[in-house]
Amino acid sequence: MKSYLAAAIQMTSVPDLRKNLAQAEELIDLAVHQGAELVGLPENFSFMGEEKDKLAQASAIATETETFLKTIAQRYQVTILGGGFPVPVDSTGKFYNTALLIDPTGKELACYRKVHLFDVNVPDGNTYQESSTVMAGTELPPVYISEKLGSIGLSVCYDVRFPELYRHLSSKGVDVIFVPAAFTAFTGKDHWQVLLQARAIENTCYIIAPAQTGTHYARRQTHGHAMIIDPWGMVLADAGEQPGVAIAEINPGRIEQVRRQMPSLQHRVFI
């Protein structure tokens, strides 16, 4: 593994599949032209709308999104994380919130189905019941080991509040963890950055966190601030509140340096 540039893409996705995929390609193009070799798209990047509408269109969204990811990865010769889109579960009336990692040949490297579902009454008056349409995944997230890009772990949004999931990834020797998200504006202002920094610090790894931002439909607003954070918890790039790209270097030497300076992973007692 050598140093390389990674990108966390920030979008304002809406209930329009084609419009979202066009926006995603524009931002991938921007990231690749700045030298990114690993690119992450946020949760709900291909469709951000009412859950009932997402469910009704889930089959088409799943098919077109997967085709898009494989086509774009080949076109731009880049490894892409599609950070969360609906894949129907046969005869259940629900779908998995699915993240796919795709290599530059269009091959699927890893798949993760979101385990922790966001069923929360947020104090700003919004209520979220992800489990009403989403089937929770039942398997721990995978780690894909790449000679070129290092060991890459997957997670999605609400997972970031459950450190045991990241300890699992850490136990597999992860160098980089994706946290694609559509974090609410209300919780994001207080918790988004500090949670990402905590996951980076406690596991001494890079965090790549693509994000949704702005107003998507009705009252649904997201926090933004797609970020890349280093193993010491330093924010290397922050996309702010507008659609765009956060780009930073993933440096294996930095991982080694931090793990020498703070060898906490070696000092765990309860494993």
Residue 172 catalytic? Answer: no
As a whole number of angstroms, the distance between CA 207 and CA 200 comes to 6
Residues present in the chain in total: 271
Active-site hit among 37, 70, 111, 114: 114
28: Cα separation from own chain's centroid: 14
Residue 66 catalytic? Answer: no
Active-site hit among 54, 66, 70, 157: 157
What one-letter code names the amino acid at 170? S
DSSP state of 181: B
Active-site hit among 43, 54, 111, 205: 43
| Contact indicator for 199, 177 with CB cutoff of 8 Å | yes
Residue 175: phi and psi, rounded to 5, are -105, -35
Residue 111 catalytic? Answer: no
As a whole number of angstroms, the distance between CA 166 and CA 177 comes to 8
Q: Which helix (H) or strand (E) holds 163?
A: helix 163-171
Report, as residue numbers or ranges, the catalytic residues. 43, 114, 157
